[in-house]
Chain A
Amino acid sequence: MKGYRKWTKRAVSLGLAALLTLSASGCSGGGDPDGGSSSGGGDEKLTISFGALDNLTEEQWGTEFHQFFMDKFNIEWDFNYIEWASWDEMMRVWINSGDLPDVSIWNYNYTDAENYSKQGLLYKFPDDWKERWPNAAMAYEASPLNTQLEEKFGGTYVMLRPTYVYHAQTDPIVNQIGVIGIRKDWAEAVGFEIKDAYTVDEILEFARLVKEQDPGNLGSSLIPICFDPANALTCFVSSNSRHSRIETAFYKDENGEYQWGPADESVLETLKIYQQAYREGLLDPEFYLLNDNDKDKFYINGTVAVYHMGGVAEFRQTVDTEMRNNLRLNSDDVVHEAILLGNDEKYHNIILGSNYWSSLIFSPDISEENFERIMDLIDWTCTEEGQTICNMGIEGVDWEYQDGEAVSILPEDTSLLDKYGPRVESVYILEDDFAVVNPSIKEEYRNRMNGLAQLKLDHGEGKYDEIDWDQEFHVSRAKDRVQFNYGEEYANLIVQEGDLETNWNSWVEDKMPLVQEYLDELNSTY
């Protein structure tokens, strides 16, 4: 009996050890060398891995819209959801470890793009790709930066996603930031004038009136102004000061010398307004905890008087649908959109010079079949037919032609997003382009947003910052080290105790060693 027990103990120990060894070695073993991508002939169903910022449920993938694309291009998606908050990290890890999906949406920056293309970490397009996929090439060329990158890198490695291709709100194109949404019913109740453009001070006055009179009877739930740190930067700081954000922080002054905008007195003046809004309790007391998703407090909770909407008609449509569904309110009665000006009544937010947002990149290990199949899909989505389906849904189900015009037949309280989830197949041209004419978005909203974009130009300074290509294409460690998150930096200054000017001076002083190094580099090079 004793011997049996001893033998059993040994057997169990050996078994356990073997199991642990196997599991440990299993961890270090390689995975499927194909990385989930099958290869095959043109008629074969291909599995395409795709990294994108949207998440779809199984149910949504099974809907008619997504099925349409899978059937049309004979593909199956191996979908990799990337969380917005970890987008940059995730992509850096994927790219550097060789785990990039076949195609991904990447937050382009020049330094990384140059390094990655030099190191062969991105797929290089065949030289004749523009002839083979002419619609995609046409959309690609809508962003002038694409052509410049191609020249710099000696081929196509990155496809910047164009904002506008067929349609544009204005000429020249203005960026979409700087449009706020306010509660019209509350403005009327407190006797605040409804206008198309407000200065920052006027908006603070409105918030003050709402706080005092509480026309919505919300008590302590009322948030007069709901901006996250990024939107607070746009609305309080950049509205008044041109060189306060990452895109324009380093600029050439009239003497041709590079300067650092955030150290300018004009930024301090705007920060004083920002802090006044915070200390008076006009701004959400915990604005530093908010992110862009918290703007739904305006149209889902109904507790906000002012928020940053953005100048896209689809955003306005979302407000309409959500208010109807959540608050039982007709947004046309209670919401007003306007542009936000500096206190000098000028629009200072920058011009969108390069007409793109984010980019598409491909894995250097992608099979030829997969690349061609994705490019077929991209090319088709860039046609007018493709754009219509991407943005309006399935013909006969979501829309139909009436008198030669495409007309939405979706029920009023339903959106394509509710029905299908994110339409990730619309992978290249941004939906902003079609939103200018999209019949499934109320015409009044489209016209309104186009009108506000024009108003930005009308209130412009007459002279807009052009992209400084020298700086855009400059690559150095000194540059990397001054990529500050200004939204967070300013928010931190605002909530700090003590005198703002003293805190700002010490902040500038802290940053200066790194900033000066970069300024010296720029001034000695260009």
Chain B
Amino acid sequence: MRRLGKEIWKNRAVYIILLPGLVWFFVFAYMPMGGLTLAFKEFNASMGIWGSPWVGFENFRDLFHDPAFMESVWRTLAINIGKLIVTFPVPVVLALLFNELRMRRYSKVLQTVFTFPNFLSWVITSGIIINILSNTGLVNGIFQAMGFDAVNFLGSEKMFIPMLYLSEIWKTAGWSAIIYMASITGIDAEQYEAAQLDGASRFQMMRYITLPSIASTIMVMFILAAGNLMTSSFDQVFNLSNAATRDAAEVLDMYIYRITFQSSTDFSFSTAASLFRSVLNMILLLAADWGAKRMGGTGLFGQRGGGKHEKQKA
């Protein structure tokens, strides 16, 4: 304890800088967790969260009795696993391609172009997509000019999920690629020079130097993404869905929104659904972390026994 105190005093400037972050986490991430007790209570606003009476697992019993709830759970998992497969590799590929560009200025311009959509809200992004894909939009205009019939993009449940994936890639791939590019920047240039001397092609350098060097970053990002498998991008789904696609779009977050705000107020019931989602997310995160370590990769908190190994090396 004394050692810890000394350590903190020694690095006090760093800890002071850390303080606001800790305060933020405590106030906005940990304190609200107390509200999760609502899942086991019958909320009464005048009594508040703490004063409301306990009802045990009644909210969960009702939750599992609602067929729409379990459907939304499976739908969320299916959409997000698909999203992980389709969208996750795109920023990695993009970062590798950016890295191969020799004209730095051109590379910067492209990075800006790809990163920009990330700064648009889903309300705006969805507005653009709806305008482009609507019956009188750009895409159908081109189809019709070419003599084809208009395609009902926005009212088709079959097209809804591909639209989610494509819009996700368009909006976030450029931004996500920055993390991998930062990781690529850290690779020792001597490795490339040695490979060049050995006559390696650019593709071989990418395959045997760049990709393995950023593998740990890819793994961490994958684990984090797996930990969010039960969380959908609510803004995206909410803004892109409509009455015609409501069945395909009722993911868990939309279900929680609907039961919280669209029928009579029942905050306890919706908190039970949220808690269930958070617990599932945590299980998925730990499972992905465990799986990554079993496959010999690094987990979120480093490889098993990594600390000991480093100590021995030292």
Contact = CB atoms under 8 A, between A and B. Distances in A.
Interface of A: 10, 13-14, 16-17, 20-21, 23-25, 27-28, 88-89, 92, 95-96, 98, 109, 111-112, 115-116, 119-121, 220, 229, 285-286, 288-289, 477, 479-481, 483, 485, 487-488, 491-492, 495-496, 510, 513-514
Nearest to A230: B243
Nearest to B71: A510
B19 A17 contact: yes
A288 B269 contact: no
A393 to B, nearest CB: 36
Contacts of A95: 45
A388 B154 CA distance: 47
A286 B155 contact: yes
Interface of B is mostly: helix
Interface of A is mostly: helix
Given A88-B262, A477-B62, A14 B154 contact: no
B262 A485 contact: yes
Interface string B243-275: 111110000000000010111111101000000
A24 B263 contact: no
B267 A111 contact: no
25 contacts: A14-B13, A14-B16, A21-B20, A23-B20, A24-B24, A25-B23, A27-B27, A88-B261, A89-B261, A92-B265, A96-B265, A96-B267, A115-B264, A220-B136, A285-B155, A286-B135, A288-B242, A289-B134, A289-B154, A477-B266, A477-B269, A479-B264, A480-B263, A492-B246, A496-B157
A115 B242 contact: no
Contacts of A513: 65-67
Point out which of A28, A477, A485, A496 has the most chain B C-beta atoms below 10 A from its C-beta. A477
Given A112-B264, A288-B242, A481-B259, 19 more contacts: A17-B16, A20-B20, A21-B20, A21-B23, A89-B261, A92-B261, A98-B45, A119-B44, A120-B46, A220-B144, A288-B243, A479-B264, A480-B266, A481-B66, A483-B264, A487-B243, A496-B157, A510-B68, A514-B67
B152 interface: yes
B23 A24 contact: yes
Contacts, number: 104
Nearest to A221: B136
Contact of A488 (B243, B259, B264): B243
A246 to B, nearest CB: 11
Interface of B: 13, 16-17, 19-20, 23-24, 27, 44-47, 62, 65-68, 130, 134-136, 144, 150, 152, 154-157, 242-247, 259, 261-267, 269
Considering the complex of A and B, which 3 residue pairs feature the smallest CB-CB distances, nearest first? Answer: A20-B20, A491-B243, A119-B46
Given A27-B27, A483-B264, A492 B247 contact: yes
A16 B17 contact: yes
A495 B262 contact: no
Nearest to B268: A477
B74 to A, nearest CB: 14
A59 to B, nearest CB: 26
A244 B50 CA distance: 42
Given A27-B27, A121-B45, A496-B157, A514 B13 contact: no
B156 to A, nearest CB: 8
A220 B259 CA distance: 40
Contacts of B13: 10, 13-14
